[in-house]
C-alpha cells in the first residue's frame, strides 16, 4: 500500500504503516523484522536494515532515525532468480535500474 499524498506506505503482509511521523520506538515495536538496527550515542542516529515485499516486489530497506524521529528511508529492489537482471543497467552495470529515497 502506498499513499503518496500522505507519505504513508505499508509492506505486504505487515501491519505497521511507515509514515513521516513514525518514531523509532514504534518501528522497533512494529511487526517488521529487521536484520540489524545500530544506534550511535555520539551522533544520535539509529540505522535499521530490513527486507520486505511491496506490491509483490522484494525490496531491501534502510531506515534512519535521528534521535526518535524518522530522518530518511532508502530502498532498492532485490534481484531474484525469477527476475534476473532486474537491477542491472545496460549502460552502467554498477548502477541499479531503480532505487528510491525518501
- Could you give the CA distance from residue 27 to residue 23 in angstroms, rounded to a whole number? 6
Q: Is residue 38 part of a domain?
A: yes
Count of domains for the chain: 1
In a domain, 44, yes or no: yes
Q: Containing domain of residue 54, as a range?
A: 2-81
pLDDT at position 97 over 60: no
pLDDT score at 3:
85
Nearby residues of 39 by Cβ (< 8 Å), 6 or more positions away = 45, 46, 47
Q: Averaged over 37-65, what is the pLDDT?
A: 94
Q: Is the pLDDT of residue 82 over 90?
A: no
Show the cell assigned to 94: 554498477
> What CATH number is attached to the domain comprising 45?
3.10.450
**90 found inside a domain:** no
Mean pLDDT of 4-33: 94
In a domain, 96, yes or no: no
43 CB-contact burial (10 Å; exposed 0-12 / middle 13-18 / buried 19+): exposed
Domain assignment of residue 15, yes or no: yes
Q: In the structure, what pLDDT confidence band is assigned to residue 2 with cuts at 50, 70 and 90?
A: confident
Q: In Å, what is the CA distance from 101 to each residue of 11, 61, 74? A: 16, 10, 4
Instruction: Kindly state the average pLDDT of the residues 74-94.
Output: 61
What's the pLDDT at 80? 64
Amino acid at each position: 500500500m502506498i499513499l503518496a499524498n500522505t507519505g504513508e506506505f505499508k509492506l505486504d503482509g505487515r501491519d505497521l504503516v511507515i509514515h513521516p511521523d513514525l518514531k523509532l520506538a514504534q518501528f522497533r515495536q512494529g511487526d517488521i523484522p529487521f536484520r540489524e538496527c545500530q544506534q550511535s550515542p555520539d551522533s544520535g542516529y539509529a540505522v535499521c536494515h530490513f527486507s520486505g515485499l511491496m506490491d509483490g516486489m522484494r525490496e531491501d530497506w534502510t531506515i534512519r532515525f535521528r534521535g526518535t524521529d524518522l530522518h530518511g528511508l532508502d530502498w532498492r529492489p532485490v534481484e531474484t532468480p525469477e527476475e534476473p537482471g532486474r537491477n542491472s543497467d545496460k549502460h552502467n552495470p554498477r548502477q541499479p535500474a531503480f532505487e528510491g529515497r525518501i
